[in-house]
Amino acid sequence: MKTKLLSLILLFFFAVHLYASPVDIMIGSRGYGMGGAYVAIANDPSAAYWNPAGLSQVDEISIMESNWIFQSVDDI
């Protein structure tokens, strides 16, 4: 009985850490490979995600596609 009670108490106190983390997918393989430290040198189409001012450094016309651009918020 004490073991079950202790297990139940521990479950309630540590349930805060038992959740799925949100998906944090960075845009572009170059920025992802740099661990997210791509803000200062964003000079390709992924600059729209990392640093929109970096779009002024893009010299050619290019197209980029990503399925993870939009992240919805469910808990409002």
Q: Is residue 53 part of a domain?
A: yes
On the question of pLDDT at 29 being above 70, the answer is yes
Q: Is the pLDDT of residue 76 over 60?
A: no
For 28: left if phi > 0, alpha if psi spans -120 to 50, otherwise beta; the answer is left
- Nearest Cα to Cα of residue 54 among 32, 39, 35: 39
Residue 55 lies in a domain: yes
Q: What range defines the domain where residue 49 resides?
A: 22-67
User: Residue 2 domain-assigned?
Assistant: no
pLDDT at position 50 is 83
pTM of the model: 0.48
For range 19-43, the mean pLDDT: 74
Would you say residue 51 lies in a domain?
yes
Nearest to 44 by CA among 75, 13, 32, 8: 32
Number of domains observed in the structure of the chain: 1
Residue 38 lies in a domain: yes
